[in-house]
Amino acid sequence: VEGVVLQMKAMGIARVATFPFPEPPSPEALRDAETCLGTLGAIGAPKSTAATATTATSVAEFTRSVVDGPITPLGRMLSRLPISPRLGKLLLVCRRDGLLPHGLLLVAMLAQPDPSIIGDDSSADDATADDDADGTPEEGAATPVRWKCVESDALGMLGAYLQWRSMGGDEAAARMLRLTFKVMREAEQLASQLRQLLRELFPNDSDADDAREAPPEPPSKEEATALRKALAAASPDRIA
């Protein structure tokens, strides 16, 4: 719903709740969507409630202040990305923090369903051998070991992509790793699309070019920590 509301705001429809949807979302869903967009900075408060938004001390008070709020420059930028506003914010935070080589691939994977093939085939065990606690691959493995971050399941999606690409990034590699090839291929295509959009959004910025086509090495411990912080920044309303 957040994406629909953001696109409507980008078209100049401020009062989304009064729009004649053929099948309207519930008032609660629309309110939650506007609250989410407000916490992301994608919409601001109407002039009449701007002061309330900056001094809100509760979620309910903040929600009342941003409902029917206008789209912000950040929101317009997010509306141009073919991903959810949360993932768009994650992508832009990664760009800001110099994390695009990994962040772009992470976003592309998080936009997909889980690619893992669940089954009893023990041949998958060799393809998903455990890493040590800090994410350092084991040496001497016949199959590249999947990088993992013990603090974040979301970052595990990045590890799956890096392992798949390191083995050729084709259907055979996906089959060996028990990953759905269609999902992996769509993530690869989305990453390429996002890379091009970033070049268009930031034509004088070299950061998009730094997110090169070739997959980077797995993140260092410091980079993994920075990526987890970026994930938190993209979901401020979900942090207790």
Mean pLDDT in the chain? 81
Q: Which residue has the higher pLDDT, 121 or 224?
A: 224
Residue among 201, 137, 202, 192 nearest 163 (CA): 137
pLDDT at 16: 87
Mean pLDDT within 106-121: 87
**pLDDT at position 15, please?**
84
- Residue 133, pLDDT above cutoff 70: no
pLDDT at 60 over 80: no
Contact by Cβ (8 Å): 170, 164: no
pLDDT number for residue 103:
95
Residue 162 is predicted with a pLDDT of 95
pLDDT in tens, 163-212: 999 999 999 999 999 999 999 999 999 999 999 999 999 988 766 555 55
Report, as an integer, the average pLDDT of 80-84.
96
Question: Residue 145 class from Cβ within 10 Å (0-12 exposed, 13-18 middle, 19+ buried)?
Answer: buried
- Is the pLDDT at 228 greater than 80, yes or no? yes
Q: What is the pLDDT of residue 216?
A: 80
